[in-house]
């Protein structure tokens, strides 16, 4: 069975609103139309999502087409950055570089990349265990995991059994890749919606 990791598309950045409550922007909502046109999204038998609003909006677009329910898993959320809250884009990029460069070190009180990766792998294992054992996904059904760029990057590093690195980062919000649920081998790198 194929698993597709998709990151939420563009968001409405509002420093006055907690990041986890940000909505998709008009451009992000338009990009969702490309997602729901994908055959693998239409055949989703299991859809899992981070609890963050932007990821949930992404997952709900898939479930509206596929007819299944969203399984929310808090551990599919982005790395915990509540210590800093909103950070302007230029400063955020520098912090993200440090987060990936030193995975065992907390950057400004953020969850470490190594801890986040372990959490994410556990969450994906749970999603796939439910898909295999409980849900009984049909042979042609897929699993879609709606989440965030950092989550997808850390997961891809784990799947490829490579050191945590930003070199496997998504090319932009609203990207995806697929991997085989049995071999855990990625079929390809990131692709844009």
Residues 162-188: tens digit of each pLDDT: 999 999 999 999 999 999 999 999 999
Look at residue 133 in the predicted model and tell me its pLDDT.
74
Look at residue 6 in the predicted model and tell me its pLDDT.
98
Question: What is the reported pTM?
Answer: 0.95
Domain ranges, residue 84:
2-192
Which CATH number is 15's domain given? 3.40.50.1240
Look at residue 138 in the predicted model and tell me its pLDDT.
63
Mark the ranges of the chain whose per-residue pLDDT is less than 50: none
Look at residue 137 in the predicted model and tell me its pLDDT.
61
Cα→Cα distances 113→23, 85, 171, Å:
25, 17, 19
For residues 20 and 53, the answer to whether their CB atoms sit within 8 Å is yes
State how many domains the chain has: 1
């Amino acid at each position: 069975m194929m698993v597709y990791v998709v990151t939420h598309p563009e968001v409405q950045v509002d420093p006055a609103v907690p990041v986890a409550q940000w909505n998709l922007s008009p451009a992000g909502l338009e990009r969702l139309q490309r997602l729901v046109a994908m055959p693998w999204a239409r055949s989703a038998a299991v859809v899992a999502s981070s609890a963050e609003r932007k990821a949930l909006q992404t997952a709900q677009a898939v479930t509206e087409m596929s007819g299944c329910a969203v399984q929310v898993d808090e551990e599919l959320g982005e790395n915990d950055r509540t210590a800093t809250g909103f950070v302007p884009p230029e400063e955020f990029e520098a912090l993200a570089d440090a987060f990936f460069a030193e995975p065992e070190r907390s950057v400004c009180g953020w969850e470490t990349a190594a801890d986040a990766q372990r959490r994410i792998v556990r969450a994906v294992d749970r999603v796939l265990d439910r898909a295999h054992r409980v849900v009984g996904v049909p042979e042609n059904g897929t699993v879609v995991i709606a989440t965030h760029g950092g989550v997808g990057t850390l997961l891809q590093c784990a799947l490829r059994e490579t050191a945590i690195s930003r070199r496997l980062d998504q090319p932009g919000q609203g990207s995806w890749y697929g991997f085989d649920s049995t071999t855990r081998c990625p079929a390809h790198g990131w692709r844009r919606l």
